[in-house]
Chain A
Amino acid sequence: MISRRSFCKKSILILGGIAVPLAALELFDPKKLAADRSGPSTVRWVFLVDTHKCVGCGFCVKACKIENEIPYDANVSRTWVERYVVTRDGKVHIDSPKAARDGFTSTSIDQGALGMLKIENSDIDKAFFVPKLCNQCDNPPCVQVCPVGATYQTSDGVVLVDRSWCIGCGYCVMACPYGVRFFHPVYHAAEKCNFCYHRISKGMKPVCVEACPFGARRIGNIRDPNDPVTRIIMTERVNVLKEEYGTKPQVFYVGLTREVK
């Protein structure tokens, strides 16, 4: 008969073994942890947004929705355009009705549950538009928190989501300071802009870049010193959003003002 002592010993060993899932044994290979970026990639995609050029027509949003199969009427979008209206009393009014899919057709500000706010032209100090999209952060918190590695970063810097692997916990949605993530209404997995990875990896441009009639959106390769976008980023005064979070955003803005959130 098995002695109690040896029984206890054995069961502790077995239970301990079960407690550590097999995959955990791979824990100590740091290269596998962060998606491997040590490869000799000559590409690092970056984006440049010129807010002086954006007129808020929303062509980019419309094109993006169609290209990336985000249900047209769903109240989510991979990219959107914000309108900023600063009034004489110093107040900042912001809106982005339906993500500006149809452009800004009314001068009233959409305040959600509080209704529409009518602002007299004479009260306006300044007004402008700011397009937003995933920043493809260099230190992406969404990749950091994903419990199963469904969100990962490629060697050329773009953060992608594996729809077949996402468990739909929403941790990445919470972790992104820019609020760009959402759940796809059809596939139910986490969703966001990926710079049209299916296009840029084939030498094409993202569809929003192509759709913008004013050249407010551009994409470039920061590892190529001769890239026109790289030259602007390196030589002109550009800015990024919410730098304080340490996410190292890779979408650069020309003409960003302090009102932009």
Chain B
Amino acid sequence: MMASRNAMLRRVGLVLGLVILAVMPWLLGSYQLRLFTEAVIFSLFAVSYNMLLGYAGLLSFGHAMFFGWGAFSFAVALNHIPGIPLVGALALAVASATVMGLVVGVLLLRVKGTPFALLTLAFNALVFAIGIKWQSVTGGDDGLGVVAPPLHLGLGQINVSSGANLYYFTLLIVGAAIAFAWYFTRTAMGQSVLLIRENEERMRFLGYNTHVSRLILFVLSGALAGLAGAFYAILNAFVSLDAVSIDMTTKVLLMTFIGGTGQFLGPVAGAFFFTYVQNFLSDLTDNWPLIMGALFIAMVLWVPGGLAGLAAKLSRGRSDDDQDGTLAGME
């Protein structure tokens, strides 16, 4: 009885949410819509990050290498392959992020815990160094301009490089990717990663190849981050080394943690929270990272489960099939 009512409420909430998302361009001015689009893109980035941190218990300090790699692959494909369609360039960006995830994953997943975290940081630094030095391809410190071609449909073409069109295009593709990530975490494959986090030895005894499971998750997470990076490039009409920097990794880590790693939508909340608070604070003062850092420490100290954990705590007592809001697996 209770459960079916909850399911009803969820369905109503989902429909209501979709309607609100659909009418956003009428509610917001162009600047606000751009900010909202950015938050949607960062939502995917944070969701992909949380697949590692929340689900597999892998703390990465190098997630920007996939984000930036995707962004640069997208820009390079558009600049060097004449006549490539938009979808083709997006697919190439995702494919190259996937390959990178495979290579980096095979190397890095051999270690766990803190050494893993450190190595992702070092690999991120390596990719950044390549970005600076390989000027002929990446543009070095100058970055690359990105002119997204129009989207070809059967009847005509739509310009998706800015405004409401970009918003809807982002919502469609990025939203689908987030939905896919959600679906993946519900599959047997995704759930097995969760169980590996809790007790790897037992899963091995049960016959799971835990290395392969983790690698698949890692690669998928990298591919989704790459897609987010490509959309970030469209949004800015520009890619700079900022996209692949440690600062970008910092950003996604803060978003994910502030939102909460325990529930799937936590990082989405975190991405929106971070994007809007950063926007607000940077209008007030140049030293906004100081306030952001203090906020972050306060959360680590007093709200260890993030916004999602806080919400769960407030509505405790209701039946809840989501996982607990704590991190495990970093021993």
Please determine whether chains A and B interact with each other in the same assembly: no
Question: A residues engaging B (CB < 8 A)?
Answer: none
